[in-house]
Copies of this chain bind each other. A is one copy, B any other.
Amino acid sequence: MKVAFLGPRGTFCEEAARRYFSKLGTVFIASSDIPEIFRKVERDEADRGVVPIENSTEGSVNLTLDLLHECPLKVSGEVELRVRHNLIVRPGMKMGDVTVVMSHPQALAQCRRFLVENLPDAKRMEVASTAKAVEMLRRTRGAAAIGTALAAEVNKMDILVKGIEDNPNNFTRFFVIGRSPAPPSGEDKTSIAFTVPNVPGSLYHALGEFAVRDINLTKIESRPTKQRPWEYIFYIDFEGHTSEPRCVEALEGLRKKAAFLEVLGSYPKARS
């Protein structure tokens, strides 16, 4: 089994991929960006891809939403990972030696309180990713990086302090994508994309198909269609699998009201 993830080595995305595909012998392939992950799976260079879809405080990853809609791949799984940041240094370095802290701007912001209290005088240096920051430790004197435990391991660096993030309730959700859908597991979710005609009540009537069948929506998101200004495509996640009768009925009902409807995939709910 070959699994493509968003690189470089040691990203949250690699952590998510390794959590989901824990079987020995799985090969993990670092990809340089999200479109490359989709391409690798489409061209059979990888069996599955793992892509970030949403963060609980930052919101959706728009690029992933757009690609899911544009390509024929199916969502076959989801992974939820708590965003855990670590202060990482070259082996032997101590807190007192740190003069600069490197990381992705978002990670620096998410550890602001820790940095103000523990490293008030260290410079902040923004780099392209947390994994990149850990990679750069080797050639940057006096530097610490904020990154994943996996990045520390991969780069043979030391974790000086674990869990330095300010908010313990920050999660990132990843989708597993593949060429075929997942069979029902008994506790599933389904993701769809659709558009409705631009008349009063059209979204209301579309959602009615789920409400009358007591189907719980876990997410609703809108994105511009890119064809015409101010037209939206809706992305909805609901509880259930496309093989369940009430879900089949809801989707049939929706298909009659929607200008366009696409099932992105059914997949087992992530264990928190």
Binding site for B on A (CB under 8 A): 55-59, 62, 169-171, 199-201, 203-205, 207-208, 210-212, 214-224, 226, 228-230, 232, 234
**How far apart are the CA atoms of A221 and B219 in the complex, in Å?**
11
Contact of A207 among B199, B204, B210 (CB under 8 A): B204
In the complex, chain B residues whose CB is within 8 Å of the CB of A228: 169
How far does the Cβ of A111 sit from chain B's closest Cβ, in whole Å? 17
Contact of A57 among B58, B203, B217, B226 (CB under 8 A): B226
In the complex, chain B residues whose CB is within 8 Å of the CB of A226: 57
Contact of A214 among B200, B210, B234 (CB under 8 A): B200
Copies in the complex: 2
How far does the Cβ of A131 sit from chain B's closest Cβ, in whole Å? 20
How far does the Cβ of A60 sit from chain B's closest Cβ, in whole Å? 9
Whether A224 pairs with B62 at a CB distance below 8 angstroms is no
Majority SS at the chain A contact face: mixed
**How far apart are the CA atoms of A252 and B238 in the complex, in Å?**
28
Whether A55 pairs with B211 at a CB distance below 8 angstroms is no
How far does the Cβ of A67 sit from chain B's closest Cβ, in whole Å? 14
Nearest chain B residue, comparing its CB with the CB of A212: B201
In the complex, chain B residues whose CB is within 8 Å of the CB of A207: 203-204, 207
Whether B222 pairs with A56 at a CB distance below 8 angstroms is no
Known: A56-B230, A169-B229. A222 touches B224 (CB 8 A): no
6 A-B contacts, Cβ less than 8 Å apart?
A55-B224, A171-B230, A199-B216, A201-B211, A201-B212, A203-B207
